[in-house]
Amino acid sequence: MNTPDLSFPDFAPGSVWLAGAGPGDPALLTLAVYHGLQEADVVVYDALVDQRILELASPDAIWEYAGKRGGRPSADQNDISDKLVDLAQKKKRVLRLKGGDPMVFGRGPQECETLIAAGIPFRILPGITAGIGGLAYAGIPLTSRDTNAAVTFITGHTAGGDIPDDVDWECLSKGSPTLVIYMGSKHLDKIRDRLLESGRSENEPVAMISKATTDQQQTVTTTLKHCTDVMAASEIVTPMIIVIGPTVCYHEAFSWFHP
């Protein structure tokens, strides 16, 4: 069999590739990110990135942790952006590896702005976001022609620490049949109340998918009315994606991943 020419881009010294590592399972890496890992001089990685993914980097590459959880010291966002600039100015090939997709509910855009201001060339390599890969591994379709023609991705926790106040919860409640909520566990009570106040049925199916695509994946299903009680009783842990909507009903039949 001939090996196809995939024409990977040249990873030039002094540039930064802002890449998504996917939700957990290393098999969900794209070939472009795999290529970036093998070429990089430095990999600046976030907390949710699996160690086995880092091990795909060249043996000479340096790993720099820039995460914000797991009990390790928190890195300030400006420090991370400045570090990327500094490494690029030292003519390193810098792979900035973030969980999921780099441009979904992370600081990817801020890092791009800092790179642009410093005149550093960059490339964005998408990854499979948790709200897509996690649902696939839980056997929950994002859409199905029998249930929904639209999906909304929402963050349940803004930089200010609360649910976003620029989201029109009433419109979402009425207009978006499927809601996929990132960072939603802390304020699930508020989210539930906003949706119920806006007319969403208390019998609406809800799924919580914890550590999706990893060997510790766990999925718990319930209804909007009972979601906070069930979350507490099941002791399900973060990181977690919360899905609200009719496609959650497919979970029982479609569940295929049993780590």
Identify the CA nearest to 194 among candidates 222, 164, 231, 152: 164
CA dihedral 113, 117, 122, 124 (to 10 degrees): 10
Q: Can you tell me the distance from the alpha carbon of 115 to that of 96, in angstroms, rounded to the nearest whole number?
A: 12
Q: Is 183 in the site for ligand SAH (CB under 6 A)?
A: yes
Whether 1 is catalytic:
no
Q: Is 182 in the site for ligand SAH (CB under 6 A)?
A: yes
Q: Taking a C-beta distance cutoff of 8 angstroms, is the pair 185, 156 a contact? A: yes
Q: Report, in Å, the least distance between residue 64 CB and ligand SAH.
A: 18
Is the Cβ of residue 213 or residue 221 nearer to ligand SAH in the bound state?
213
Which residues in the 204-233 window bind ligand SAH by CB under 6 A? 209, 211-214
- The H-assigned helical ranges of 139-239 are 169-175, 188-197, 227-234
According to DSSP, the residues that pair with 218 across neighbouring strands are 210
Both tokens of 192, joined, read 């539930």
25, 50, 98, 183: the active-site residue: 183
Whether 162 is catalytic:
no
For 5-36, the DSSP string reads ---PPP--TT-EEEEE-BSS-GGG--HHHHHH
Q: Is 120 in the site for ligand SAH (CB under 6 A)?
A: no
Q: Is 137 in the site for ligand SAH (CB under 6 A)?
A: no
Stretch that binds ligand SAH, among 3-11, 102-110, 140-148, 169-177 (CB under 6 A): 102-110
Which residues in the 1-30 window bind ligand SAH by CB under 6 A? 23-24
Residues interacting with ligand SAH, by CB under 6 A?
23-24, 48, 98-101, 104-106, 129-130, 134, 182-183, 209, 211-214, 238-241
